[in-house]
Structure 1
Amino acid sequence: MKKVLTFGTFDLFHIGHLQILKRAKALGGYLIVGVSTDALNFSKKQRNPICSQQHRMEIIQELKCVDEVFFENSLELKRQYIIDTKADILVMGDDWKGRFDEFKDICEVIYLPRTPSISTTEIIEIVRDIS
């Protein structure tokens, strides 16, 4: 059984999140998920998540396809996270294609297509437009 590692904010959990996690799990059998902290999300997107990091982690922990969860505090620690979890495969969405190829020396890197027509950012924008 291979260990698969992936990362995400998972704010406003939706079907796209579930699909990528299920596809990641199918690649190895043991899925580890790094949930981006509120501070990391703000540094990437200049906005805080709608749901707190604790709530987001609880949602991910309860999914039957997820075996292990931890908080991702820094993008610069990806290599260390891979080493610490002993991941065989790093899975990221294909919008990051090529960005994590530097880790191919310690694990396989796979970019999975995102679920079309859904994203947390899009949901937030729709809700803001309605109100």
Structure 2
Amino acid sequence: MPDQPLEPARARRTVITFGTFDVFHVGHLRVIERAAALGDRLVVGVSGDDLNVRKKGREPVFSQHERLEILAALRSVDEVFVEESLELKRDYITRYAADVLVMGDDWAGRFDELGDICEVVYLPRTPAISTTALIEKISATP
């Protein structure tokens, strides 16, 4: 049997996304699954505790270590890391060789300038689900 020409290897497509992922809920799960579907490898940056305080003005309910552990346990997540600054997105994309940046559409337009190094995709948020609203609801429960 003559040798068959080898097909060129398909390049792996790495997707990166970011979030606080505090009080993990179905909206978080859906964005992770949709992001993972855009490539072969999903890397997730979890906002560090200090970043969360700067970004949202409050401590997260779960520590950064716990949130990293939750995300790392998901079947569709290949790697997690601590995001220390919103301004370092370009560095994180480069470090993890990401081909696609996925963000929620509440960030639409904020990261368009990163289109020079990767594809930028804004996914719609899951309607009627908000970590802040969940925390407020839990806090108000007697």
Bin for the TM-score computed over the shorter chain = over 0.9
Alignment of 1:46-85 (within 5 A): 46-85=57-96
Alignment counterpart, residue 14 of structure 1, candidates 25, 28, 32: 25
Corresponding pairs, count: 131
Question: Is 1:127 paired with 2:138?
Answer: yes
Deviations 1:61-110 (A, max 9, x none): 00000001100001111100000000000000000000000100000000
Runs of 4+ in 1 over 2 A off after TM superposition: none
Q: Normalization by structure 2: what TM-score? A: 0.91
Name stretches of at least 5 consecutive residues in structure 2 with no aligned partner: 1-11
Q: State the distance in 2 between where 1:110 and 1:26 align.
A: 12
> How far 1:130 moved relative to its partner?
1.4
Structure with the larger helix share: 1
Percent identical residues: 61
Q: State the distance in 2 between where 1:88 and 1:8 align.
A: 18
Alignment of 1:71-110 (within 5 A): 71-110=82-121
Could you say which structure has the larger radius of gyration? Answer: 2
